[in-house]
Amino acid sequence: MEEIDFLRLLEEERKAEEVVRRAENEAKRMIDSAKEMAKRIIENALKIDEEEIAKEEERRAKAEIVKLREELFRDVELLRRMVEENKQKILEHLEKMVLGLGD
Amino acid sequence: MSVEDVVKVLSEEIRKAAEEEARKVIENAKREVEIIIENAKRRAEELRRQKIAQVTKEIRQKLLKEYAQIKIELKKEYLLKKNEIFNNILRELREKLQKRSLERDEVYVKGLRNLIEEALLNVDSDDVVLYVLPKDQEIVREMLPNIIKEVEKKKRRKIRIKIADLKGNYIGGIIVQSVDGREYYNNTLDSRVRLIEEELFKIVISIVQKK
């Protein structure tokens, strides 16, 4: 009767273990590499251009000042024009108020 | 089946099982890699957002300090210009009143009468001193009987008035003071202009809107 070649089967088992071991190593390498990449992604995300932000904020603050100046001086100009156009009427009214002549 | 064939089949089974196991290991690793990268991207975005917000806040606070002074200066300048407009109105008003007071024109005389009556009605005392500018005393003496009559009618009692010199650099108007000195009603034009001054902006706006 022919005998089973156990040595060959053992060799096949060894090879199979090697295939799985290699796959596990490859998986570990892939995960380590991903972790490394994740670290770099976070590091890169945290690299922000503070100077650029400062410039942008400064530009915004300056624009706000310009806007405020325009608003205030437009307001004064409007008041000046309004007073100028109605000066006689205003003075007459105020005179009456001071002299107790109505209003 | 020969023994050789059995060994071949077993070997094939072992190989296939190993390959299947290896495939699963790699598949799982790929999934894990995807999750790691996805989480990292999310975390990175959140951290970046937080860092930008923090840096922006710090820069804004610094700028706020720098620009606060400029804003104060601008508002100061604005108020000065606005006050200049109102001061011009008040200056012209005083000039007009001064002219009327010096000329003692009809409007001034009518006004003076109203100011005296108003002051007398606002003082409870029936024994008062009426301070009048020397230049106005003659007119006041002329109009006083009628004013007294009017005030007594409104107060329903007699009043006694003594005229005295209003001293000081007043444009015009009068001051009424009770003889006991407890009551005092300043109805000089100067005092009335000062009252208007406090509300000038509102008054001017209401006049202009009356159109």
Instruction: Check residue B205 and give its pLDDT.
Output: 87
pLDDT digits (tens, 9 = 90+) for B161-202: 999 999 999 999 999 999 999 999 999 999 999 999 989 989
Instruction: Determine the pLDDT at residue B207.
Output: 87
Q: Of all residues in chain B, what percent carry a pLDDT higher than 90?
A: 89
Taking an 8 Å cut-off on Cβ atoms, the answer to whether B3 and A89 are in contact is: no
- Among B residues 100-159, those touching chain A with beta carbons less than 8 Å apart: 100, 107-108, 110-112, 114-115, 118
Question: How many whole angstroms separate alpha carbon B156 and alpha carbon B145?
Answer: 16
Most A-contacting residue of B1, B63, B80, B210 (CB-CB within 10 A), to test interface? B63
- Of B173, B164, B184, B187, the residue nearest B123 (C-alpha): B184
Q: With an 8 Å Cβ cutoff, are A98 and B111 in contact?
A: yes
Q: Which residue has the tokens 């001293």?
A: B167
Structure tokens at B183: 């009551």
- Mean pLDDT across B31-41: 97
B53 CB burial (10 A radius; 0-12, 13-18, 19+): exposed
Share of chain A above pLDDT 70, in %: 98
Give domain limits for chain B: 1-76, 104-209
List of chain B residues whose C-beta atoms are within 8 Å of the C-beta of residue A101: 107, 110-111, 114
Which is higher by pLDDT, A103 or A6? A6
Q: DSSP string covering B21-49, please?
A: HHHHHHHHHHHHHHHHHHHHHHHHHHHHH
B23 interaction partners in chain A (CB closer than 8 Å)? 23
**Whole-number pLDDT of residue B3:** 83
Rounded to an integer, what distance in angstroms lies between the CA atom of residue B199 and that of residue B136? Answer: 29
Q: B39 and A38: CB-CB below 8 Å?
A: yes
ipTM of this predicted structure: 0.75
Mean pLDDT confidence for B93-117? 95
Residues listed for chain B: 211
Cα distance between residue A5 and residue A2, in whole Å:
9
Res. A103: pLDDT tops 90: no
Of the pLDDT bands very low, low, confident and very high (cuts 50, 70, 90), residue A6 is confident
Q: Is residue A1 scored above 70 in pLDDT?
A: no
Query: Per the structure block, which two tokens stand in for B180?
Result: 């006991």
Report the greatest alpha carbon distance in chain B.
153
| B39-73 residue pLDDT tens | 999 999 999 999 999 999 999 999 999 899 999 99
**Nearest partner of A60 among B70, B60, B61, judged by Cα:** B60
Cβ–Cβ of A99/B108 closer than 8 Å?
A: yes
Q: pLDDT tens-digit profile of A42-79?
A: 999 999 999 999 999 999 999 999 999 999 999 999 99
A15 confidence band (pLDDT: 50, 70, 90): very high
Q: Is the pLDDT of residue A2 over 80?
A: no
B158-177 residues touching A, CB cutoff 8 A = none
Average pLDDT over residues B77-89: 95
Query: In Å, how far from its chain's centre is CA B170?
Result: 32
* Listed range (A94-103, B48-57, B202-211) with the worst mean pLDDT: B202-211
Q: What is the mean pLDDT of residues B24-31?
A: 97
How is domain B104-209 classified at the CATH fold level?
hypothetical protein PF0899 fold (3.30.2320)
Give chain A positions within 8 Å (CB) of B202: none
Q: Is A31 on the interface with B (CB under 8 A)?
A: yes
Across the interface, do A53 and B52 touch by the CB < 8 Å criterion?
yes
Cβ atoms within 10 A of the Cβ of A62, count?
Answer: 13
